[in-house]
Chains A and B, each alone.
Chain A
């Protein structure tokens, strides 16, 4: 259920929705954190659903030294009026077996809200890559027919993006047994609800795209920045990326310093330990 935190219910018509999928390394969520903090997006509501585990904390985007309390919940909706952008940030995992009921609700809500398009940010297990994916850019995209029609050429020729290689079926047969038929299966292990949600959105006729990166659990800040950079190249949310004369995209400044790292990224790997331990 979407609960608005404003008095008037928000109007989502013609806006782009960025959805994070709880996936390997939490890359989608980290990228969304970067977007929300850099664009100073405003929290406009909450998603309260029985399928998401509860969680509360203090304001993840607070400024340094803030001593107030502004609680954050497990799934929230942020908006940037100026950029016509809405971000759903999910901060807790699903309860086992309740994903389908959340997806059904979400797809209906997206349809009713009349979003222009939906972009799902996710990641997938690096250890499941096939040979062709091992080298080169680790970033991939998947687009619905409407997005492909509108942006397909731009993605491939201007941004030099690769579309995610489809597989024949799961589990993948050995190369010898590989049938000659066309590979059609979308294969996103570790991608959370991204795959099933994308398919549901396509069936519902909503323009949707999945942006993803291959990664492994660990320090995934780099992957989050890469994913946020790619999204920015496409949607031009901030002016970090400018096109140069030879048609390549370069960073106007160092991108690492441009994205504003939120307060909640402190102590990623736990508390500080007593240093005398190492004497």
Chain B
């Protein structure tokens, strides 16, 4: 039976597994720009950070890229999650197959960082991803905002899911995060797994302030409505303090472009 964890746990029993000891898993590697590397060497410590936004998945990073991480942000590092044989290698992030996650900082306020994971980081790699990131970024004084998207089919509720208007958001926070979230907390028995769960777990264990906003969508393919579901965040503290007051005039165009880029993967109506 599915315990707290639903289906995911249930068939997790394979006894002869112990025999294939210590299977190799690709661990995530971080690379930092020369400027950051030099600064880290100079201070001998970690990268100071006051506010960190992590977007997990295409939709969340699409939102971040369109509304927050714009001209005044530059890339300071990257986290590599490894490539499979069939992956097309490009050095620009717009490729839907790109497996790299970039770290940005605000040029005006360098202690504001953003991590955009354009790809789904496999849950097996999430441990090394989080440890690699937080071995360089100092989160002791930091407020962490995690954005992620899951499907409404994974959402359990007393009300039939077909009666709930998607997309909708649910939040989870660490004990140190004391502000009121913009949406209701995730109700039991729902759970969230993957990289976003690992990030929140790490923050809770290390007494950091962190909040996860999870958007539930009913669309299989990337769409504008899902990305726009995060819009209320722009008016929240501390985002409203550093996002330029004039909204991105080309936002709608950028979002449509992103949808198009990922729609090429959808062969249903070709």
A positions within 8 Å CB-CB of B: 3, 22-27, 29-30, 33, 46, 48, 50, 53-60, 62, 67-74, 91-101, 188-193, 195-196, 217-221, 263-274
Given known contacts A58-B187, A71-B200, is B192 in contact with A189 (CB within 8 Å)?
A: no
Cα distance A29–B12 in the bound complex, in angstroms = 13
Contact of A271 among B4, B124, B127, B160 (CB under 8 A): B160
**Which partner residue on chain B sits nearest A265 by CB separation?**
B189
Contact of A57 among B12, B126, B172 (CB under 8 A): B172
Task: Show 16 A/B contacts (Cβ-Cβ < 8 Å), sorted by A.
Answer: A46-B204, A53-B124, A54-B201, A55-B8, A56-B212, A57-B189, A69-B173, A73-B204, A96-B17, A99-B17, A190-B15, A217-B1, A217-B10, A267-B157, A272-B159, A273-B162
Cα distance A141–B200 in the bound complex, in angstroms = 38
Q: Are A3 and B189 in contact (CB under 8 A)?
A: no
**Which partner residue on chain B sits nearest A192 by CB separation?**
B13
Q: Which B residues touch A195, using CB under 8 A? A: 15
Q: How far is the CB of A259 from chain B (nearest CB, A)?
A: 15
B4, B175, B189, B205 — most chain A CB neighbours (10 Å):
B4
Contacts of B179-209 to chain A: CB distance below 8 A: 181, 184-198, 200-202, 204-205
In addition to A22-B12, A267-B156, 20 A-B residue pairs with Cβ atoms within 8 Å of each other are A50-B128, A54-B198, A55-B8, A57-B4, A57-B190, A67-B184, A71-B173, A71-B175, A71-B204, A72-B4, A74-B197, A91-B3, A96-B23, A188-B15, A192-B12, A217-B1, A268-B2, A269-B2, A271-B158, A272-B159
Given known contacts A92-B8, A97-B23, A271-B157, is B1 in contact with A69 (CB within 8 Å)?
A: no
Q: Are B1 and A271 in contact (CB under 8 A)?
A: no
In the complex, whether B71 has a CB less than 8 A from a CB of chain A is no
Cα distance A22–B9 in the bound complex, in angstroms = 8
In the complex, whether B123 has a CB less than 8 A from a CB of chain A is yes
**Which partner residue on chain A sits nearest B207 by CB separation?**
A5
**Which partner residue on chain B sits nearest A26 by CB separation?**
B3
Q: How far is the CB of B206 from chain A (nearest CB, A)?
A: 8
Cα distance A196–B54 in the bound complex, in angstroms = 39
Q: Which A residues touch B184, using CB under 8 A? A: 67
Q: Which A residues touch B194, using CB under 8 A? A: 54
In the complex, whether B246 has a CB less than 8 A from a CB of chain A is no
Q: Which B residues touch A101, using CB under 8 A? A: 22
Q: Which A residues touch B195, using CB under 8 A? A: 54
Q: How far is the CB of B140 from chain A (nearest CB, A)?
A: 15
Q: Are B162 and A274 in contact (CB under 8 A)?
A: yes
In the complex, whether B20 has a CB less than 8 A from a CB of chain A is yes
Cα distance A91–B23 in the bound complex, in angstroms = 22
Report the contact-size class of chain B (Cβ under 8 Å from the partner): 35 or more
Q: Are A69 and B172 in contact (CB under 8 A)?
A: yes
Cα distance A209–B158 in the bound complex, in angstroms = 40
In the complex, whether B11 has a CB less than 8 A from a CB of chain A is yes
Contact of B193 among A24, A25, A92 (CB under 8 A): A92
Q: How far is the CB of B59 from chain A (nearest CB, A)?
A: 19
Contact of B15 among A55, A69, A189 (CB under 8 A): A189
Q: How far is the CB of A138 from chain B (nearest CB, A)?
A: 15
Cα distance A273–B9 in the bound complex, in angstroms = 23
Contact of B188 among A3, A53, A266 (CB under 8 A): A266
Q: Are B13 and A267 in contact (CB under 8 A)?
A: no
Q: How far is the CB of A118 from chain B (nearest CB, A)?
A: 19
Q: Which B residues touch A267, using CB under 8 A? A: 156-158, 189
Q: Are A50 and B127 in contact (CB under 8 A)?
A: yes
In the complex, whether B243 has a CB less than 8 A from a CB of chain A is no
Given known contacts A97-B17, A97-B20, is B157 in contact with A272 (CB within 8 Å)?
A: yes
Q: How far is the CB of B248 from chain A (nearest CB, A)?
A: 31
In the complex, whether B155 has a CB less than 8 A from a CB of chain A is yes
A54, A188, A270 — most chain B CB neighbours (10 Å):
A54
Q: How far is the CB of B261 from chain A (nearest CB, A)?
A: 29
In the complex, whether B226 has a CB less than 8 A from a CB of chain A is no
Q: How far is the CB of A110 from chain B (nearest CB, A)?
A: 18
Contact of A48 among B12, B185, B205 (CB under 8 A): B205
Given known contacts A73-B204, A267-B156, A272-B159, is B23 in contact with A98 (CB within 8 Å)?
A: yes
The list of the 3 closest CB pairs from A to B, nearest first, reads A97-B23, A93-B12, A54-B198
Cα distance A188–B127 in the bound complex, in angstroms = 30
Cα distance A100–B126 in the bound complex, in angstroms = 19
Cα distance A27–B192 in the bound complex, in angstroms = 22
Q: Are B204 and A220 in contact (CB under 8 A)?
A: no
Q: Which A residues touch B162, using CB under 8 A? A: 273-274
